[in-house]
Homo-oligomer: A and B are copies of this chain.
Amino acid sequence: MHLNYTVGYIIPIVLDALKDTELSGDWWDIQPGVVRLCGDTVEERTKNMDKTTRRWREAQRFEILSGWRDEIYTVYAPKGSPFFYMERSAHPLFGVLAYGSHMTVYVPATPTTPLRIWVPRRAAGKATYPGMLDNTVAGGMGNGAGPWECIIKEAGEEASLEESLVRAKAKPVGFVSYFYVRHKEAGGEAGLLQPEIEYCYDMAVEAPDSGGPTLKPCDGEVAVHILMDIDEVVANLKNGKFKPNCSAVLLDFFIRHGIITAENEPDYLEIYTRLHRRLEFPTR
């Protein structure tokens, strides 16, 4: 059975590991320019991927696998059917498309106060991007959850937001899609390829002194939540203080909310189309 579609891209350090049959078994068919994961069924492919990544982890071949999460990501075939499942921490090794949900919780501008955004600072001990600023609520879509259920769950875990409040006030507003090349700060090997689709949600709340929620960390992944004026958010973006994909979500928010406009940003067209890249892989 030959499958003629591409679900990800690998870089040379990964190809070298795949060529080493001591490490990667006979679960891969390596041809010039293309590598095929063997297996005629979803189950076989999933098993072959699992054996490969577990063996790499045991051999400490890739630093990125030290962040093993026991969380399952789905890789899709055309028409949205699953092609195989794999461990979340390994997906950048194969450059396969990942999905997540990001929510911007904000206090709208009033005649006397500018728009403010609830911005969390990531815990200093986090394996990826420790201490950096983040979107209010954000999480990868693993273990079969859809984007809406993902954001509800993460809103409770990361920001102590009541499920009933989130279900009533969170609004789906599209997504950003892009091809991320991993920095060192992402943890693990730099240069790995990570195409992503992040579903975006907006949630307008009252200010705490007007009866709105005060966001608090819940699960230890966030150090603190800060209610930042828009100017402070922009300054932190310019200084590279935000986790990179969170910057993409904020730029999309700024464009949808008329903060970045065609009149004040010369690269308006370029920025917005690049935030909505059409990825060349099958999707969910």
Contacts and interface: CB of A to CB of B under 8 A. Distances in A.
Interface of A: 80, 146-148, 171-175, 177, 197, 199, 255-258, 261-263, 266, 269-270, 272-279, 283-284
29 contacts: A80-B266, A146-B262, A146-B263, A147-B263, A148-B261, A148-B262, A148-B263, A171-B257, A171-B258, A172-B258, A172-B261, A173-B255, A173-B256, A173-B258, A175-B262, A177-B269, A177-B273, A197-B269, A269-B283, A269-B284, A270-B283, A272-B276, A273-B276, A273-B278, A273-B279, A274-B278, A276-B276, A277-B278, A278-B278
Contact of A277 (B257, B273, B279): B273
Contacts of A277: 273, 278
The quantity of this chain's copies bound in the complex is 2
Nearest to A256: B173
A170 to B, nearest CB: 9
B283 A175 contact: no
Contacts of A263: 146-148
A109 to B, nearest CB: 12
A175 B175 CA distance: 14
B262 A147 contact: yes
By Cβ-Cβ distance, the 4 closest A-B pairs, closest first, are A276-B276, A273-B278, A171-B258, A172-B258
